Each structure stands twice: as C-alpha cells, then as structure tokens.
Structure 1
Amino acid sequence: MKHLTREQRNALARQLDTMRRQVLDELSNSTPGTFAQPALNAGQEVHTRADEAEAEREDGVHQAEIEIDRRRLQDIERAQLRLSEGRYGICATCGMEIPAARLLAQPTAIRCAACQAELEARSR
C-alpha cells in the first residue's frame, strides 16, 4: 500500500463505502417474488403454462441478480478489510503493487492487470 498516497487511500475508502451502500440498498429493495406475480386481466388471474413459465423465468433472473449483488458485497467488504489491514493494492498472484489507476477504476481488484488478463486467458 506504500504506493498509494493518503489521499488515494481515503478516496478509495470513500468509493468502497459508496459502493457498499449502493449494493446494500439494492439488496434491501429486492423482495423475493416481486416478479413472480401472475398476469392479471380485468381483475381476473390468468394461469397458463406461458404465464407460469414467464413468472419462473423472471424469478430466476431476480434470484441471479440478488446473488450477483451478494458477491459484489463480499468483494467490497474484502477490499475494505485489506485496506484496513494494510494489504490493499497488492496482487494476489504475483505480489506486486497494483497501480493506483487500476484500483481507482476497479476498487475491488485483487490482481494487477497482467495477472488478471493471464487468468482470464487460461479460463477460456
């Protein structure tokens, strides 16, 4: 973390706090079953296979969005922990410092751009 100035560390801490609040707001505003409402036609419920399939699809999408938000929250909280422990900004793969520009663009980054690109290339 020595490569980051106090101003940069403070800016990153604020950015992570903002990101965390946004994700928590998204999670608290997502209520299960919101999308799984049956279609209504002039006050009467319409239950067809297509309606049920669409409700299941929308519920699946909603659940996937919740899981993405949970993972984002975990990434943010891990970054905040690394920052508080003085381990923030060190590549988990090569151990080198992650450039400040990358951290400002991606505050939850755990790898430098080169190691991240290599990891992604291997996973293809």
Structure 2
Amino acid sequence: MAAKAGSFVEKLVPLLNRGANLAKAQQPRLERFWAVAKVELAPPGPGDIPKITTGIKQAVSINRIANLSVKEVMLNAAVCFEIFLCYEIGRIVGKRSLVGFDIEGASHFPPIKKS
C-alpha cells in the first residue's frame, strides 16, 4: 500500500507544479479581470439615475425610431426575438415540461356523485 501511495505522490507532484505555474502565468489577466469587473458589474448608484432616465427617453423617442434604416430595424427585431427565445427556453426548463404546468391535485379530479 505504501508503494502505491509513493507512486501516486510522485505522479501528483508534477501536476501540482504545472498548476502552480499556470496560476502564476494567469495572475496578471485575473487582476485585470477583477479590476474591470468591480467597475462594470457594480449596481447603479444614485448619481447614475439621471443618466439612465435620459438614456431611456432617447431610446424611445419617435424621431429616433423614424430615422432608423431597414437594416437597423431588422437587427433590433432579431435581438428582440433572441431575448424572447431565451425567455421561452428558460420557462420550459423551469416548468420541466414542454406543455403546461404539473400542478399536484389539479389533474385528477374525483368523480362527482349525483344525489
């Protein structure tokens, strides 16, 4: 048993060294990722609310919509369709069925007795 453990350790040491080297090589990338993620994934603060409202007003303005090209309209429609498909796939996965919800007690009713 001790011989097996010794051979296992001998095989494990190079793998651990490779993992340590890989982690050391990826450290600058991870530091950059965390620095960007802290800024980009932070929730909006109170100072951001006016920017958000003006952005929504600009996105919904009639003048902007009237000046869109056909290519931009088709691109926006494709994005909306993609969001709809993701929603539907999530709904199907969530209910674990393609058709209807399985509500316990709602599918098998006892027969009604006539008096």
Higher relative contact order (CA 8 A, sep 6+): 1
TM-score range, shorter-chain basis?
under 0.3
TM-score, reference length from structure 2: 0.26
TM-score, reference length from structure 1: 0.24
Determine which structure has more spread, i.e. the larger CA radius of gyration: 2
